Amino acid sequence: MPEEKEQLRIPGHVSVKEAARMLGISYDRAYQHVKAGRLASKKVGGKHMIPIQAVEDFKGNPPGRVRAEPPDWRVYRSRVKISATDIEVQVCSGQEERVVAKFVAIQQAQRHTFTGTIARFVLEDETNPAIVSIWLVWKDTEMPDESLVQREFEAFKTEFADVLDWETALIRTKRGIIYT
């Protein structure tokens, strides 16, 4: 591993070590990106200096495997059906940042996982961030009793009552046809 010597400063540039810290990766990994040309740099006095803009624009390798092509469509066996609840709700005025923070907090604490769900999505409308969509997906063979679903949903609504306007909520139940 090449070692950093004394700190060289060039306006608008950072060292490999500083770039690694900014990207949240190891020095070795950042240096590999520089050597592979994935992270632009200039060699100055034997040291690689990276434009700050290059660090900010850098997109590392995505986690997991990258699909070579889209997955095929599938149909569930006749014994299994998919059921989904689609909830579209307004964010209370001025609460856009707070609602996101609350969703992050429930994810970190693994709360409101909705018993039996096989997928859960919370989506922000790109054209109107004051609208949030919540998708809950179940296999009918794993769908819990309706009273449990209602209790869990009421607890969820209560936690978000200060940031989501449940009076405006549009709640729809849907049945799956095909999936990937």
Q: What is the model's pTM? A: 0.66
Sheet of 131-139: strand order equals 117-124, 131-139, 82-91, 164-175
pLDDT (mean) for 45-58:
88
**pLDDT tens digits for 112-140?**
999 999 999 999 989 998 999 999 999 88
Q: For residue 2, is pLDDT > 60?
A: no
**Residue type for position 130:** A
Where would I find the H helices in the chain?
16-23, 27-35, 52-57, 96-109, 146-159
- Spell out the residues 6+ positions from residue 75 whose beta carbon is closer than 8 angstroms to its own: 177, 178, 179
Domain topology for 82-175: Alpha-Beta Plaits (3.30.70)
pLDDT value at residue 81? 86
